[in-house]
Amino acid sequence: MSVLKIENLHVSIEDKEILKGIDLVVKSGEIHAIMGPNGNGKSTLLSAIMGHPKYQVTEGSITFDDQDVLAMEVDERSRVGLFLGMQYPMEVTGVTNSDFMKSAINARREQPIGLFEFVKSMEGSIEKLQMNSDLAHRYLNEGFSGGEKKRNEILQMLMLKPEIVMLDEIDSGLDIDALRIVATVLLEEYEKRKIGLIIVSHYERFFELIAPTHTHILINGKIVMSSDASLVKRIDADGYDWISRELGLEVKKEVKPVSSIENCAVKEKVGL
């Protein structure tokens, strides 16, 4: 069994503190939902666990089966069994999806994978995810649609067989059918290999398909509330304001002009 343990994690970006003391323990066989308003640090948390160079850990610790994750390079973290399906997967030109997968698999083996075994595994995974088979031979994520990129993240997860799987808004960009396919594949992998999951999402729909064993609310760089799947329903129905009211917190609102226009529009509708 694997354990990912995060203690008192403080993270800054360009000297601005984003995470202000996160404690979280995730074990194999657990599904943790992380929710929270935009810009409050969910992606920051997952990126810091994976080791994105922009995010500086200023305090606290992350361990994986008692190994010091913070001392590891990004690629080592991947090889010990951490996986992050990203909110915005990168496009990398010049390397095909299948060559990339082969190198990534070989990076964690002594003997390079046999061609037959590789092709079988790649084709099997592509089929499971009902992806277009030509995506294997295209450059990594280049020109992929939003949904194709997200499925491709899951494809990589299937092939790399990590212990702890973190998914950052994997559901955004997926159509309803794709959402169901991805959820089914994830659950199958969860049943089969007893992985631990950390899922960041804004929507109840995904958590209806994959019932979390734990739910956490991340506001202003802290986990302010933790409970079970029922908390997802409450957020879906009531939003986050009640939490901040109950706990007397200030929610960090992203000051984007776009979002304030959206807010106005909503208010107008309510006023009618």
Ligand X SMILES: Nc1ncnc2c1ncn2[C@@H]1O[C@H](COP(=O)(O)OP(=O)(O)OP(=O)(O)O)[C@@H](O)[C@H]1O
Using CB under 5 A, list all residues that contact Mg ion. 42-43, 87
C-alpha 105/C-alpha 160 separation (Å) is: 6
Distances (CA, A) of 97 to 23, 37, 159: 36, 33, 12
- Interface mask toward another protein for 123-162; x: CB under 8 A: ---------------------------------x---x--
Which does residue 41 touch among ligand X, Mg ion, another protein, none (CB within 5 to 8 A, set by kind)? Answer: ligand X
Q: Per CB under 8 A, which region of 12-20, 70-78, 187-195, 231-239 contacts another protein?
A: 70-78
Residue 209 interacting with another protein (CB under 8 A): no
Q: Tell me which H or E stretch contains 66.
A: none
Q: Per CB under 8 A, which region of 8-16, 29-37, 73-81, 218-226 contacts another protein?
A: 73-81
Residue 36 interacting with ligand X (CB under 6 A): yes
8, 54, 75, 239: which one contacts ligand X (CB under 6 A)?
54
Q: Tell me which H or E stretch contains 84.
A: strand 82-85
245-253: long-range pairs with CB below 8 Å, 24+:
249/219, 249/220, 249/224, 250/220, 251/37, 251/40, 251/219, 251/220, 252/37, 252/39, 252/40, 252/219, 252/220, 252/221, 253/37, 253/39
2, 12, 44, 201: which one contacts ligand X (CB under 6 A)?
44
Residue 100 interacting with another protein (CB under 8 A): yes
Residue 89 interacting with another protein (CB under 8 A): yes
Residue 15 interacting with ligand X (CB under 6 A): no
Residue 201 interacting with ligand X (CB under 6 A): no
2, 12, 40, 215: which one contacts ligand X (CB under 6 A)?
40
Which does residue 68 touch among another protein, Mg ion, ligand X, none (CB within 5 to 8 A, set by kind)? Answer: none
- Helix ranges, 23-66 (H): 42-50
Query: Structure tokens of 67?
Result: 């190994």
Other C-beta atoms lying within 10 Å of the C-beta of residue 174: 22
